[in-house]
Amino acid sequence: MIERVSNGQITGAQLQESNPKDIIDVLLATLGDTRAILVFDNIDQYVDVEQCKVVGVMDTLFQQALTRNHSAQFIFTTRPQLDYVHLNFLQVQLSGLTVEETRKLFEMSGARLDPANRVALIAEIHALTRGHSLMVNLIATQVAKNRVNLAELISKLKRGAEAGIENPLFPEIWASLNVKQQTVLRYLAEQIHSDPEQRIASYLGNALNYNQFSKAIRALKATNLVVVKSPGNNLPDTLELHPLVRDFIRRRFPREEQVPYIDSIINFYDSMIGRFRAVILNAPYSVLENWTSKVELCLRRGHYGSRELQRQ
């Protein structure tokens, strides 16, 4: 963010010896009177659910954003509720779709419903999903693509809900995918951040060739399982999974079955680190994040005290 706000005058490499508080000070000082929107998406892991407050470094950022003079807007998205008494704090509670909005979403997706049962089906879908936009959208897409029979899907979702299965839609969708599509999702579930399609293809190593990957990723985008982000400025689109889809895939498989996918991505970062190691002292954050991403993957892998991690 500092690189973007400063138009590259301050690079990530210049901040590598700084502590988090100093970096936050630099960010606020660099912003100055700049009118900007800075989004910190899905900060659930930084929230104390009982106190309804953010913690750690995020708390420092939160307090500085509330109290320092600046012209920017900071947006934090989180599922747990936050409770702050401050004039500069506004909490916007997002509710689910209404029954009418659910109907419109189905209509926009091109999903065809039996006119005689349309009202009842929409009402059932709304009740089962509680109007959750992702769930409704996934169901509508599955129906529009003729991948499922809606009445049968509703019946399965009811049985799953009665059995206490969290998000019973996901196992049904997972079962409808072929092995190559599931393979791509397994890698996407382990990626650190949103990445361009070409870079994600490199994560797979020899698991799939590029034609197989491209075909699988097109199918996944068509079913709205993959989130496409368009950064603008002639930069390529980036891809990632919705947090609920990612969490479902990670929980579905034990740690030892996740390891090959994590290791394959680590191998990719090793190749990038080898390429840029000589220029690290003057590298922008886009290069430095090869190191930070590898560290995060090593921690997820359980390599807390390994020599490999210490060298990073």
Percent of the chain with pLDDT over 70: 97
What per-residue confidence (pLDDT) applies to 305? 64
Q: What is the mean pLDDT of residues 174-201?
A: 94
Residue pair 80/93 in contact (Cβ under 8 Å)? The answer is no
Residue pair 261/186 in contact (Cβ under 8 Å)? The answer is yes
Beta-carbon contacts of 151 under 8 Å, excluding residues fewer than 6 positions away, are 121
What per-residue confidence (pLDDT) applies to 306? 55
Cα 302 to Cα 56, 117, 292, 297, distances in angstroms: 22, 52, 15, 9
What per-residue confidence (pLDDT) applies to 127? 92
Looking at per-residue pLDDT, the higher value among 198 and 312 belongs to 198
Looking at per-residue pLDDT, the higher value among 282 and 304 belongs to 282
Burial-class residue 35 by CB neighbours within 10 Å (0-12, 13-18, 19+): exposed
* Residue 160 predicted with pLDDT over 80: yes
* Residue 308 predicted with pLDDT over 70: no
Q: What is the mean pLDDT of residues 198-212?
A: 94
Neighbours of 126 (CB within 10 A): 21
Task: Give CA–CA dist 70/39, Å, rounded.
Answer: 15
Predicted confidence band of residue 302 (pLDDT cuts 50, 70, 90): confident
The amino acid present at 210, given as its one-letter code, is: Y
* Residue 206 predicted with pLDDT over 80: yes
What per-residue confidence (pLDDT) applies to 312? 52
Q: Are strands 37-40 and 73-76 parallel, antiparallel or unpaired?
A: parallel
Of 140-149, 210-219, 241-250, 276-285, the poorest mean pLDDT is in: 276-285
DSSP 8-state class, residue 17: T
What per-residue confidence (pLDDT) applies to 24? 94
Q: pLDDT tens-digit profile of 26-80?
A: 999 999 899 999 999 888 889 998 899 999 999 999 999 999 999 999 999 998 8
Q: What is the mean pLDDT of residues 234-238?
A: 88
Helix ranges (DSSP H) in the chain: 2-5, 20-31, 56-67, 99-109, 118-129, 133-144, 150-162, 169-176, 179-190, 197-203, 210-222, 243-252, 255-276, 285-301, 307-311
What is the phi/psi pair of residue 40, to 5°? -115, 100
Q: pLDDT tens-digit profile of 82-132?
A: 999 999 999 998 889 999 999 999 999 998 888 888 899 999 999 999 999
DSSP 8-state class, residue 93: P
* Residue 285 predicted with pLDDT over 90: no
* Residue 209 predicted with pLDDT over 70: yes
Cα 81 to Cα 44, 78, 166, 211, distances in angstroms: 10, 7, 21, 44
Q: What is the mean pLDDT of residues 270-297?
A: 85
Unique residue bearing structure tokens 């922008």: 284
Task: Give CA–CA dist 145/183, Å, rounded.
Answer: 21
Predicted confidence band of residue 307 (pLDDT cuts 50, 70, 90): low
* Residue 1 predicted with pLDDT over 70: yes
Looking at per-residue pLDDT, the higher value among 300 and 184 belongs to 184
Q: Is 97 helix (H, G, I), strand (E, B) or coil?
A: coil
Q: Is 301 helix (H, G, I), strand (E, B) or coil?
A: helix
DSSP 8-state class, residue 191: -
Please provide the distance, in angstroms rounded to a whole number, between the alpha carbons at the two ends of the chain.
22
Q: Mean of the per-residue pLDDT values for the chain?
A: 89
The amino acid present at 260, given as its one-letter code, is: P
* Residue 310 predicted with pLDDT over 60: no
pTM reported for the whole predicted model: 0.77
HEC readout, 28-74: HHHHCCCCCEEEECCCHHHEECCCCEECHHHHHHHHHHHHCCCCCEE
Task: Give CA–CA dist 308/312, Å, rounded.
Answer: 7
